[in-house]
Amino acid sequence: MNVVQYPLRAEWAALQQRAAQQQGADVAQRVQQIFEDVRQRGDAALLDYAQQFDGADLAAAGGLRVSVQELAAAEAQVPAALQAAIRQAYANILRFHEAQVPTEERVETMPGVLCWRRAVPVQRVGLYIPGGTAPLFSTLLMLGVPAKLAGCPNIVLCTPPQKDGAVNPIILFTAQLLGIDTIVKAGGAQAVAALSGGTESVPAVDKIFGPGNRYVTAAKQLATRYGVAIDMPAGPSEVLVMADATANPAFVAADLLSQAEHGPDSQVILLSDSLSILEQTKAEVERQLRELPRAEVAAQALTESRAILLRDAQEMLDFSNEYAPEHLILAVENPEPLAAGVSNAGSVFLGHLTPEAVGDYASGTNHTLPTNGYARNYSGVSLDSFFKKITFQRLTPEGLRNVGPVVETMAEAEGLRAHARAVTLRLEALAGSEE
């Protein structure tokens, strides 16, 4: 990690650049080809891509859908300790999201004018869960819990197969815990393409959730052109740590590496007003890196990492709000005042004993968060993400008499005579019925 000392504010923008902000034209073109192929050939295309990208012969393994037998057999393949951990994480995530259940309130804006808003679940939801080198069963919890809690009636899970044509048993165990049984062995852009238009084995959905590589990210963005919503724009994982002189360098280094090991295009940034903390943390990163099974992946990510010395906590806060990190760790003695000043971040972790990893797995908050600076204008996934809000209104005769003249006056001023007439005719009918 290279240490940058007291950069001028004019230099901050360059230090805040993400390495993978631009999707290459070749990625977009390839994803477009995959979409067209899946739309034309359906299941046949998905089977070919499973062979090509995953090395799996799904035709020989029973097809694209996970069978009832495969789902039932998964539990026996998951160690008891891991099952218990997943169940506890499930309980914590459920408890946090249950507190977000919306209430329906009727508001009388004028006498006789009743308005209300109802939360209606998205009817068809697609969850994409990466497999690859790190099958993200934790993400399935983060998406499946609110989807079920919202009452989404149709939930489709897509996840890549292993070379033997099976799905990772931990993902299947988690799906069974959640009550999700429509599971498709498909990964990458082809899974998103299938969810956006449907195939013989994959039901089309209204909204797609879940992380992925740059091809999946490009595919989700392309899906919006076919009338399918997505959770948010997303890219490689990232963390920004603000550390003062009281920070523990070993803790901070572990936090940085916990993001770096996600993938080679992940990004970590360390801010401090203590040069000693920066230098000690840098040494700890190098020491701990050697002990990681995914050291090579983390080392690649660290090539884009930055350790920046700033003058004080306010400068660190200003830098962070401009960067808008996915994860923000406040490794400082008194984090609450700093937290109050956070305006742009996906999720915030306060104090020396709150590692970002707890949010990734089991504190209860959702780990599906905006990256690439989208925390400036997007929230992370929540229960709300699985609802649509529909407004309703109803007028009594008194209500029509009260609000009608207001509408007539405004509609005439905009030159929309039919709008005004829709009210006038009703007012005249009311007057006639009272004679």
Which tens digits make up the pLDDT trace of 163-191?
A: 999 999 999 999 999 999 999 999 999 99
Q: What is the pTM of this model?
A: 0.94
User: Taking residues 323-341, what's their average pLDDT?
Assistant: 97
- Band of the pLDDT at 1, cuts 50, 70, 90? confident
Predicted pLDDT at 20: 58
414 marked ligand binding residue:
yes
- Does one domain contain both 299 and 246? yes
Domain check: are 194 and 240 in the same one?
Answer: no
Q: Quick one: 211 and 287 in the same domain?
A: no
327 is catalytic: yes
Choose the catalytic residue: 238, 284, 326, 356.
326
295: domain CATH number is 3.40.50.1980
From the candidates 238, 284, 327, 356, give the one annotated as an active-site residue: 327
Residue 133 confidence (pLDDT)? 61
16 occurs within a structural domain: no
In a domain, 225, yes or no: yes
* Residue 259 marked ligand-binding: yes
**In a domain? residue 196:** yes
Strands (E) across 169-261 are located at 183-185, 207-209, 229-230, 238-243
Q: Do 339 and 418 belong together in one domain? A: no
Asked if residue 147 and residue 83 are part of one domain, the reply reads: yes
Cα 250 from Cα 400, distance rounded (Å): 68
Structural domain range at position 280: 235-379
Question: Could you tell me if residue 123 is inside a domain?
Answer: yes
Asked if residue 251 belongs to a domain, the reply is yes
Residue pLDDT, tens place only, 189-199:
999 999 999 99
Of 98-102, 115-119, 236-240, 243-247, where does mean pLDDT reach its minimum? 236-240
pLDDT of residue 21: 53
State which H helix or E strand residue 393 sits in.
Answer: strand 387-395
Contact by Cβ (8 Å): 307, 286:
no
433 known ligand binder = no
Which of 230, 255, 289 represents a domain boundary (last residue)?
230
333 is in an annotated binding site: no
| Count of C-beta atoms within a 10 Å radius of residue 134 | 13
Catalytic residue list contains 291: no
CA–CA separation, 187 and 170 (whole Å): 17
